[in-house]
RNA sequence: GGGCGAUUAGCUCAGUGGUAGAGCACUUCGUUGACAUCGAAGGGGUCACAAGUUCGAACCUUGUAUCGCCCA
């Protein structure tokens, strides 16, 4: 054998062997009917393996290997998700880097070709990386959330079920059931990528911000007495005001204010509620007036207590605006610049003014209004902010304070001898930390925007998902996850599923011109359109300027049918116009007009077209990954895999995607197939560095799992991951720990090298011998105990307990004691004992390999392979089922523990009395009982060897200067009068005695308390009594020993 | 501000009412025929604090402090 395990060489070889033998395939090594299925949380196709993946997949692989060895019909389903925004970004970067035409230059279709190319080339990276960890996914089933979409060349996911069809089918069905709708809502808008993004993709970061204070003058010459009181109700300020004071961190949004809100209980503003005030920006002659309303949202103690309401650009304001029917004016374009569309400001402002004065409005009318003053149009939002502040201040409408106001933030430090400058009057701009939303990929400030999007009406599908957890059908580990889950689901918001991207499942909805004509009069009443009627329809009827009609269908062909049905009621020949697909509405109007013009000339109705255009948006990636459990198994087809593996068993994923993915999978699976997707959800925390900091490129504390694998081997990383995986625990990855577990692997390796050294035959699968030797009986019992411990731990997802049980067994029991104890027998002449011990040792080592395999697959498979003949590779070896009840021999247990205890105590006494390590010493014994004598007789060779004892002599009384070794049933002694320092030996014993006395006090106190005997369980009382007796015996012996030493001193 | 959680040895963390544990680090000793990626021994804890429940509390309850995370 090599000196150590060569992970770098062996891992790829072993993995290849497994893979080529089909060891990971669904159902491999199946010997029973129960299935066990895990769906991999699909890593992002652009992703590279990070420590979180490494952790997460280690746990999954442990469970999978464990079940596979136990003969379950096991499937670990792999795959990747298409990661709309990330992939699009990656490909765009690549285009720039390689000087290719940009996305917009390429156009949608060509760009998507590039994305598919890119996916084919780089999309498999993470798969290869997962393999290096030893992950035994059924790679032949590798799935992809965009599989089957237009242009899919099927590279890297050759056998993936057609996800596209499944996603589209679900969308159409949910749409038909009224669970999906299109509407205007406030969403997180990324001005860089020009798309809506999910909450998950938003990072809230505290930044140094400012809070401006402005005066909104009251309209119509209104004034009021503003009274400020302190806590006791004393008036501290009373003045006549013709304005209301507003604080804001985003002055540019003032342009879109629809109201000013105050708390209904706020007496200061009660006199002016219902009045109008003026937004102090824009050309003076067109300043907009907005109402002062009441709402519970404003906090009277915060700022001035009055809040400006910009419903289209702030989530809180949006709620207030909704409640109060306040118009929500959109101020920015998709790039986050101030709008430049629409009519001149004067015109737009006067429209808004009418609405503020009470005119009825629709959402779309409001959205069409551009309230940006002409000179600010087209400016970036931050430039616009500066301008707005500048103009208001110049106008004298900023709230002023003195320059020494502490709210303005820290002052520049004065140089020595420098005088503080005279306080001047300055605008009140508070320096204030504010939470600002940033796009996690774009790094730009996210703009809440009121836009048209597609939504899942989550409230309608949340019920079953909630019930499943509440009634225990689905269990979330740790339990705290359930609380979080309830909290979120019970307050669920509509789920925005549209994204303004190209890479993704395009929404299966087509729009057409609204040709319905309610007031149309058919002059001849013949159901036919003549030219006069046609002209009237188009121009007077305003057909071309009306809204759109839309149809949702799984394919364009299906959509055609629906549009034809829609059009059936309009006059012929328009009702039979051929439905064609065009790029957008503009194109549609153009084509439609052209075809009508042609008809006017040749009267050929077959050339009439009805152009429709598809919604350009794509679905949120989470919508497709929400279908992961069924989509990967081939749904909607009624596949054998669906029958066998669905519902799946366990989902192992990060806490952070409980809402975004787990809850949505619950909702969607229940909504679509009316079944739970899995019965257990195991949530874990983020993997951090050893100090508990998040790993990030900026901090420079990122640990690359592949580097760890290179340096320590995959097994060491896996064992570390398992050891960290306490339920709900914080995950701190440290190299020291990894080193420790690498060393553990070496320890195991050396146990085999021990067997080789003693030339123990290793012909094939070992059988458990019927042991006669106490030593062998004992270790067989210990093996049974650890098997039960490991199974119990894995059963309850306590990976750390499984790891530490195995670590303690292999190192602390097998290597530290069993192998040492076996030496004299292996070297001895008793052929029968030797053969039995060889067989036991082989068996114990093999069992260790089996039990360790799920956690450390490589080194164990390698060692397993050292035997000449094996029925199966270790990966498919049979997992043991023996129990401690069957195999633990109480007598052997007691005897070996007695031996171990004696050796420990002798060693300890030797070390503390500085007996040279190599020196063999004599041992004396007095008053040994029968059991003790028997134990000694059976094991004296072991004891003498490991405790370095020369001889044993029975004495009636220990000579002076004997170091006492108390054991159960007797007392041993080391006659060390010549060697020991009496003083320090006395000190040592007194220390031991001190501890003992304290312990005795506790035990006696408890037993003396009558209530203890009454209330405590019988066995606890019994245990305490026995314990007390043993401790008292020990105390006696130590006191005697002390007495002897004191004579000497 | 709301919700969830944490606080145990120098460090990282286990420990769901019955004698406080592990790994690492540290100190001392050791080239004893598996293993120095090792062996032997050792030191080290008012279980954050306070009150309560209990025969008994690291564990249950309440409060306090500090620190995380999520949501505003």
Mean pLDDT along residues A696-718: 85
| Å from the A740 CA to the B40 C1' | 19
| Å from the A713 CA to the B69 C1' | 32
Q: Which nucleotide is nearest to A992 (CA to C1')?
A: B42
Q: Residue A521 — very low, low, confident or very high, per pLDDT cuts 50/70/90? A: low
User: What interhelical angle do A930-947 and A890-912 show, nearest 10?
Assistant: 50
Residue of A523 and A654 predicted with greater confidence:
A654
Q: A785: part of which helix (H) or strand (E)?
A: helix A774-795
Inter-residue contact A182 to A451 (CB < 8 Å): no
Q: Which nucleotide is nearest to A754 (CA to C1')?
A: B34
- Using CA atoms, how far apart are residues A695 and A814, in angstroms rounded to an integer? 38
Mean pLDDT along residues A99-126: 89
Long-range CB contacts (within 8 A, 24+) of A719-723: A719/A744, A719/A745, A719/A803, A719/A807, A719/A855, A719/A856, A721/A54, A721/A55, A721/A58, A721/A59, A721/A799, A722/A58, A722/A59, A722/A62, A722/A799, A722/A800, A722/A802, A722/A803, A722/A855, A723/A799, A723/A800, A723/A803, A723/A804, A723/A807
β-pair partners for A39: A77
Alpha-carbon Rg for chain A, nearest whole angstrom, is 40
Highest-confidence range of A689-693, A734-738, A983-987, by mean pLDDT? Answer: A734-738
| Å from the A1016 CA to the B61 C1' | 21
Structure tokens at A56: 């997460």
| Å from the A1024 CA to the B53 C1' | 24
Angle (CA) A894-A897-A898 rounded to 5° is 85
Mean pLDDT of chain A: 86
If you write DSSP's letter for every residue of A598-613 in order, what string do you get?
A: HHHHH--GGG-EEEEE
Q: Does position A522 have pLDDT exceeding 80, yes or no? A: no
| Å from the A673 CA to the B9 C1' | 53
Residue A388's CB is within 10 A of a number of other CB atoms, namely 26
Quick one: residue A506, left, alpha or beta (phi over 0 = left, psi -120 to 50 = alpha)? Answer: beta
Q: In this predicted structure, what is the pLDDT of residue A540?
A: 59
Q: Which nucleotide is nearest to A734 (CA to C1')?
A: B12
Structure tokens at A52: 């979180």
- Using CA atoms, how far apart are residues A511 and A527, in angstroms rounded to an integer? 25
Q: In this predicted structure, what is the pLDDT of residue A436?
A: 83
Q: What are phi and psi of A435, to 5 degrees?
A: -85, 125
Q: Which residue is nearest to nucleotide B1 (CA to C1')?
A: A299
What nucleotides of chain B have any atom within 7 angstroms of a protein Cβ?
A: 3-5, 11-15, 18-19, 22-25, 28-35, 37-43, 54-56, 69-72
Sign of CA dihedral A744, A750, A752, A758: negative
| Residues of chain A above pLDDT 90, percent | 31
Q: Which nucleotide is nearest to A480 (CA to C1')?
A: B4
Structure tokens at A67: 């079940």
Q: Does position A845 have pLDDT exceeding 70, yes or no? A: yes
| Å from the A407 CA to the B49 C1' | 36
Mark A835-855 as b/e (b = at least 16 C-beta within 10 Å).
ebbbbbbbbbbbbbbbbbbbb
Q: Does position A506 have pLDDT exceeding 60, yes or no? A: yes
The model's pLDDT over A200-217, given as tens digits with 9 standing for 90+, comes to 778 877 777 888 888 888
- Note the pTM of the prediction, 2 decimals: 0.88
Residue of A903 and A426 predicted with greater confidence:
A903
Q: A141: part of which helix (H) or strand (E)?
A: none
Q: Which residue is nearest to nucleotide B54 (CA to C1')?
A: A1015
Q: Does position A79 have pLDDT exceeding 90, yes or no? A: yes
Mean pLDDT along residues A42-63: 89
Mark A483-493 as b/e (b = at least 16 C-beta within 10 Å).
eebeeebeebe
Going from the C-alpha of A950 to that of each of A72, A818, A922, A966, A977, the distances in angstroms are: 55, 22, 5, 19, 16
Q: Does position A251 have pLDDT exceeding 90, yes or no? A: no
DSSP summary character for residue A654: E
The model's pLDDT over A616-631, given as tens digits with 9 standing for 90+, comes to 999 998 899 999 999 9
| Å from the A592 CA to the B14 C1' | 73
Q: Which residue is nearest to nucleotide B2 (CA to C1')?
A: A487
Q: In this predicted structure, what is the pLDDT of residue A132?
A: 93
Mean pLDDT along residues A327-345: 87
Residue A93 three-state SS: helix
| Å from the A64 CA to the B13 C1' | 26
Q: Give the alpha-carbon dihedral of A406, A409, A412, A417, to 10 degrees.
A: 10
Q: In this predicted structure, what is the pLDDT of residue A529?
A: 66
User: What interhelical angle do A51-69 and A125-132 show, nearest 10?
Assistant: 60
Q: Give the alpha-carbon dihedral of A19, A21, A25, A27, to 10 degrees.
A: -150
How far from each other are the two terminal CA atoms of chain A, in whole angstroms? 56
Q: Which nucleotide is nearest to A1002 (CA to C1')?
A: B19
- Using CA atoms, how far apart are residues A881 and A21, in angstroms rounded to an integer? 26
If you write DSSP's letter for every residue of A292-306 in order, what string do you get?
A: EEE-S-S-TTSTTSE
Mean pLDDT along residues A700-711: 85
If you write DSSP's letter for every residue of A503-562 in order, what string do you get?
A: SS-B--EEEEE----TT---TT-SSB--HHHHHIIIIIS-GGGS-EEEEE-SSHHHHHHH
Inter-residue contact A853 to A875 (CB < 8 Å): yes
Q: Which nucleotide is nearest to A487 (CA to C1')?
A: B3
| Å from the A1010 CA to the B18 C1' | 16
Residue A580 three-state SS: strand
| Å from the A1004 CA to the B46 C1' | 22
> For residue A336, what are the contacts with CB-CB under 8 A and spacing of at least 6?
A189, A191, A380, A381, A444, A445, A447
| Å from the A488 CA to the B71 C1' | 10
| Å from the A499 CA to the B8 C1' | 49
Least confident of A184-198, A650-664, A685-699: A685-699
If you write DSSP's letter for every residue of A384-411 in order, what string do you get?
A: HHHHHHHHHHHTT-B-EEETT-GGG-PP
Q: Which nucleotide is nearest to A908 (CA to C1')?
A: B41
The model's pLDDT over A374-416, given as tens digits with 9 standing for 90+, comes to 888 888 888 888 888 888 888 888 888 887 777 777 777 777 7
Q: Give the alpha-carbon dihedral of A710, A716, A719, A725, to 10 degrees.
A: -60
- Using CA atoms, how far apart are residues A966 and A972, in angstroms rounded to an integer? 6
Q: Does position A520 have pLDDT exceeding 70, yes or no? A: no
| Å from the A299 CA to the B1 C1' | 11
Q: Does position A909 have pLDDT exceeding 80, yes or no? A: yes
Q: Does position A743 have pLDDT exceeding 60, yes or no? A: yes
Q: Does position A1031 have pLDDT exceeding 60, yes or no? A: yes
Q: Which residue is nearest to nucleotide B67 (CA to C1')?
A: A692
Q: Which nucleotide is nearest to A686 (CA to C1')?
A: B69
- Using CA atoms, how far apart are residues A253 and A246, in angstroms rounded to an integer? 13
| Å from the A775 CA to the B31 C1' | 29
Mean pLDDT along residues A669-682: 91
Q: In this predicted structure, what is the pLDDT of residue A209?
A: 80
Mark A705-742 as b/e (b = at least 16 C-beta within 10 Å).
bbebbeebbbbbbbbbbbbbbebeeebebeeebbeebb
Q: A428: part of which helix (H) or strand (E)?
A: none
Q: A475: part of which helix (H) or strand (E)?
A: strand A475-477
Q: Which nucleotide is nearest to A297 (CA to C1')?
A: B72
Q: Which residue is nearest to nucleotide B29 (CA to C1')?
A: A917
Strand A289-294, strand A259-262: pairing: parallel
| Å from the A739 CA to the B34 C1' | 20
Q: Give the alpha-carbon dihedral of A580, A583, A587, A591, to 10 degrees.
A: -20
| Å from the A634 CA to the B7 C1' | 48
Residue of A302 and A179 predicted with greater confidence:
A179
Q: Which nucleotide is nearest to A1013 (CA to C1')?
A: B55
Q: In this predicted structure, what is the pLDDT of residue A469?
A: 87
- Using CA atoms, how far apart are residues A505 and A499, in angstroms rounded to an integer? 10
Q: Which nucleotide is nearest to A798 (CA to C1')?
A: B14
| Residues of chain A above pLDDT 70, percent | 97
Residue of A138 and A1049 predicted with greater confidence:
A138
β-pair partners for A610: A579
- Using CA atoms, how far apart are residues A811 and A802, in angstroms rounded to an integer? 14
Q: Which nucleotide is nearest to A739 (CA to C1')?
A: B37
> For residue A547, what are the contacts with CB-CB under 8 A and spacing of at least 6?
A514
Structure tokens at A55: 């952790």
| Å from the A729 CA to the B8 C1' | 15
The model's pLDDT over A533-551, given as tens digits with 9 standing for 90+, comes to 777 666 655 555 567 888 8
Residue ranges of the alpha helices (H) in A696-773? 705-712, 714-724, 735-757
Q: Which residue is nearest to nucleotide B25 (CA to C1')?
A: A736
Q: Does position A991 have pLDDT exceeding 80, yes or no? A: no
How much is the ipTM here? 0.94
Q: Which nucleotide is nearest to A988 (CA to C1')?
A: B42
Residue of A772 and A1014 predicted with greater confidence:
A772
Mean pLDDT along residues A753-758: 92
Q: What are phi and psi of A182, to 5 degrees?
A: -105, 135
Q: In this predicted structure, what is the pLDDT of residue A1014?
A: 81
- Using CA atoms, how far apart are residues A810 and A863, in angstroms rounded to an integer? 14
| Å from the A915 CA to the B66 C1' | 49
Q: Which residue is nearest to nucleotide B71 (CA to C1')?
A: A488
Sign of CA dihedral A354, A357, A359, A360: positive
Sign of CA dihedral A12, A16, A19, A23: negative
Q: Which nucleotide is nearest to A437 (CA to C1')?
A: B72
Q: In this predicted structure, what is the pLDDT of residue A289?
A: 84
For tokens 């570390």, name the residue: A720
Mean pLDDT along residues A874-886: 93
Q: In this predicted structure, what is the pLDDT of residue A758?
A: 92
Residue A1031 three-state SS: helix
- Using CA atoms, how far apart are residues A117 and A115, in angstroms rounded to an integer? 5
Domains defined along chain A, listed by start: 209-401 (3.90.740.10), 513-614 (no CATH), 733-888 (1.10.730.10), 905-1048 (no CATH)
Q: Which residue is nearest to nucleotide B35 (CA to C1')?
A: A750
Q: Residue A257 — very low, low, confident or very high, per pLDDT cuts 50/70/90? A: confident
- Using CA atoms, how far apart are residues A91 and A45, in angstroms rounded to an integer? 12
- Using CA atoms, how far apart are residues A363 and A376, in angstroms rounded to an integer? 24
């Amino acid at each position: 054998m090599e000196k150590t395990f060569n992970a770098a060489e062996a891992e790829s070889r072993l993995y290849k062997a497994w893979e080529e033998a089909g060891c990971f395939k669904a159902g491999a090594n199946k010997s029973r009917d129960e299935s066990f299925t895990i769906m991999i949380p699909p890593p992002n196709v652009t992703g590279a393996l990070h420590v979180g993946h490494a952790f997460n997949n280690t746990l999954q692989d442990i469970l999978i290997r464990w079940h596979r060895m136990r003969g379950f019909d096991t499937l670990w389903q792999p795959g990747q998700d298409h990661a709309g925004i990330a992939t699009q970004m990656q490909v765009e970067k690549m285009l720039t880097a390689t000087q290719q035409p940009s996305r917009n230059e390429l156009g949608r279709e060509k760009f998507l070709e590039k994305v598919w190319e890119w996916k084919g080339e780089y999309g498999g990276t993470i798969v290869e990386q997962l393999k290096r960890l030893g992950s035994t996914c059924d790679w032949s089933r590798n799935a992809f959330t965009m599989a089957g979409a237009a242009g899919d060349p099927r590279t890297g996911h050759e056998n993936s079920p057609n996800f596209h069809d499944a996603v589209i089918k679900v969308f159409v069905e949910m749409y038909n059931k009224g669970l999906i709708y299109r509407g205007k809502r406030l969403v997180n808008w990324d001005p860089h990528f020009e798309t809506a993004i999910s909450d998950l993709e938003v990072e809230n970061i505290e930044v140094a911000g400012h809070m401006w204070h402005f005066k909104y003058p009251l309209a119509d010459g209104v004034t009021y007495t503003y009274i400020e009181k302190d806590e006791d109700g004393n008036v501290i300020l009373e003045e006549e005001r013709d304005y209301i004071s507003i604080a804001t961190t985003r002055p540019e949004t003032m342009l879109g204010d629809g109201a000013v809100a105050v708390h209904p209980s706020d007496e200061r503003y009660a006199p002016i509620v219902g009045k109008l005030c003026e937004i102090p920006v824009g050309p003076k002659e067109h300043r907009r007036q907005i109402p002062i309303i009441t709402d519970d949202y404003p906090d009277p103690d915060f700022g001035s207590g009055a809040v400006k309401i910009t419903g289209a650009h702030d989530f809180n304001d949006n709620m207030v605006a909704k409640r109060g029917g306040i118009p929500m004016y959109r101020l920015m374009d998709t790039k986050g610049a101030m709008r430049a569309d629409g009519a001149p400001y004067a015109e737009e402002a006067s429209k808004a003014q009418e609405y503020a004065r009470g005119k009825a409005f629709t959402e779309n009318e409001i959205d069409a209004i551009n309230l940006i003053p002409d000179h600010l149009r087209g400016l970036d939002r931050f430039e616009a902010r500066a301008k707005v502040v500048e103009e208001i201040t110049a106008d004298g409408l900023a709230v002023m304070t003195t320059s020494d106001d502490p709210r303005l933030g820290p002052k520049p430090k004065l140089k020595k001898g420098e005088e503080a400058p005279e306080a001047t009057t300055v605008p009140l701009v508070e320096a204030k930390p504010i939470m600002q939303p940033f796009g996690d990929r774009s790094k730009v400030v996210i703009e809440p925007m009121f836009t048209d999007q597609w939504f899942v009406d989550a409230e309608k599908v949340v019920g079953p998902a909630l019930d499943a957890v509440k009634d225990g059908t689905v269990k979330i580990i740790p339990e705290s996850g359930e609380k979080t889950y309830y909290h979120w689901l019970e307050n669920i918001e509509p789920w925005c599923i549209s994204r303004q991207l190209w890479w993704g499942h395009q929404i299966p909805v087509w729009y057409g011109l609204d040709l319905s004509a309610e007031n149309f009069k058919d002059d001849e009443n013949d159901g036919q359109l003549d030219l006069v009627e046609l002209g009237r329809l188009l121009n007077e009827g305003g057909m071309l300027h009306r809204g759109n009609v839309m149809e949702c269908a799984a394919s364009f062909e299906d959509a055609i049918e629906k549009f034809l049905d829609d059009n059936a009621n309009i006059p012929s020949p328009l009702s039979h116009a051929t439905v064609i697909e065009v790029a957008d509405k503009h194109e549609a109007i153009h084509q439609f007009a052209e075809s009508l013009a042609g008809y006017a000339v040749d009267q050929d109705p077959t050339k009439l077209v009805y152009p429709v255009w598809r919604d350009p948006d794509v679905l949120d990636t989470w919508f497709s990954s929400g279908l992961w459990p069924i989509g990967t198994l081939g749904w909607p087809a009624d596949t054998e895999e669906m029958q066998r593996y669905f519902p799946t068993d366990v989902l192992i994923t990060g806490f952070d995607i409980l809402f975004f993915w787990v809850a949505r999978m619950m909702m969607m699976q229940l909504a679509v197939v009316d079944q739970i997707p899995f019965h257990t959800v195991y949530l874990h925390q983020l993997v951090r560095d050893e100090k508990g900091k998040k790993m990030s490129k900026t901090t420079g504390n990122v640990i690359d799992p592949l580097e760890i694998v290179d340096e320590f081997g995959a097994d060491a990383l896996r064992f570390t991951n398992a050891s960290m995986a306490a339920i709900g625990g914080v995950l701190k990855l440290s190299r020291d720990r990894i080193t420790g577990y690498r060393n553990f692997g070496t320890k195991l390796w050396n146990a085999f090298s021990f067997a080789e050294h003693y030339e123990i035959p290793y012909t094939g699968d070992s059988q458990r011998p019927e042991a006669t030797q106490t030593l062998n009986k004992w270790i067989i019992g210990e093996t049974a105990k650890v098997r039960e411990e490991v199974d119990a731990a894995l059963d309850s997802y306590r990976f750390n307990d499984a790891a530490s049980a195995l670590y303690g067994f292999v190192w602390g029991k097998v290597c530290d004691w069993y192998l040492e104890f076996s030496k004299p027998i292996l070297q001895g002449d008793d052929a029968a004992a030797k053969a039995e011990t060889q067989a036991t040792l082989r068996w114990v080592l093999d069992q260790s390999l089996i039990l360790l395999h799920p956690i450390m697959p490589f080194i164990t498979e390698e060692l397993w392979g050292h035997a000449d003949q094996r029925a199966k590779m270790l990966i498919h070896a049979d997992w043991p089922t023996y129990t401690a009840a069957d195999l633990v021999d109480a007598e052997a247990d007691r005897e070996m523990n007695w031996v171990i205890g004696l050796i420990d105590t002798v060693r300890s006494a030797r070390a503390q009395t500085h007996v040279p390590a190599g020196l063999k010493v004599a041992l004396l014994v007095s008053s040994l009982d029968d059991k003790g004598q028997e134990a000694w007789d059976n094991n004296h060779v072991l004891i003498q060897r490991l405790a370095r004892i020369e001889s044993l002599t029975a004495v009636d009384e220990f000579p002076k200067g004997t170091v006492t070794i108390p054991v159960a049933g007797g007392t041993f002694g080391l006659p060390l009068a010549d060697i020991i320092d009496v003083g320090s030996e006395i000190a040592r014993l007194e220390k031991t005695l001190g501890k003992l006395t304290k312990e005795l006090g506790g035990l006696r106190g408890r037993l003396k308390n009558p209530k203890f005997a009454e209330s405590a369980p019988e066995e606890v009382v019994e245990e305490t009594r026995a314990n007390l007796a043993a401790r008292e015996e020990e105390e006696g012996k130590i006191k005697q020993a002390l007495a002897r030493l004191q004579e000497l001193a």
